[in-house]
Amino acid sequence: MTFEYDDRGKFFTDVISKTPVDVLVQTTTHLIQGVVHVQKDERLQDELDQESNFLALTDVRILDADGKISYKSDFIAIQRQQIIWVIPDENEESLS
């Protein structure tokens, strides 16, 4: 990690601070529970509006039709064209 300072003492770094947001993502075939990392001072919607082809999630659980966990992963990249809806998961514990 690098730090740079300007003449007034303000520092800059190549690390981007992000806020984790628990979400539920419905794709064309699966319901996925995970965490989207949103840049500070931005909204979940801003992250969803990004131009990249994939949405990154961490701490992922892929759920079956009964709501039971069928697969867990530390990371998944979901193709944005496959996403039907995304909502903040305010009741994250219910699906664990």
Residues 27-83 pLDDT 10s: 999 999 999 999 888 999 999 999 999 999 999 999 988 889 999 999 999 999 999
Q: How much is the pLDDT for 18?
A: 87
Express each pLDDT in 68-93 by its tens digit.
999 999 999 999 999 999 999 887 55
For 1-16, give one letter per residue: b (16+ CB within 10 A) or e.
eeeeeeeeeeeeeeee
Give the residue with greater pLDDT, 24 vs 1: 24
pTM of the model: 0.76
What's the confidence (pLDDT) of residue 5? 65
Domains and CATH numbers, the chain: 17-90 (2.30.30.100)
Reduced DSSP (H G I as helix, E B as strand, rest coil) percent helix, strand, coil of the chain, to 5: 10, 55, 35
**CA–CA gap between residue 46 and residue 82 (Å, rounded):** 18
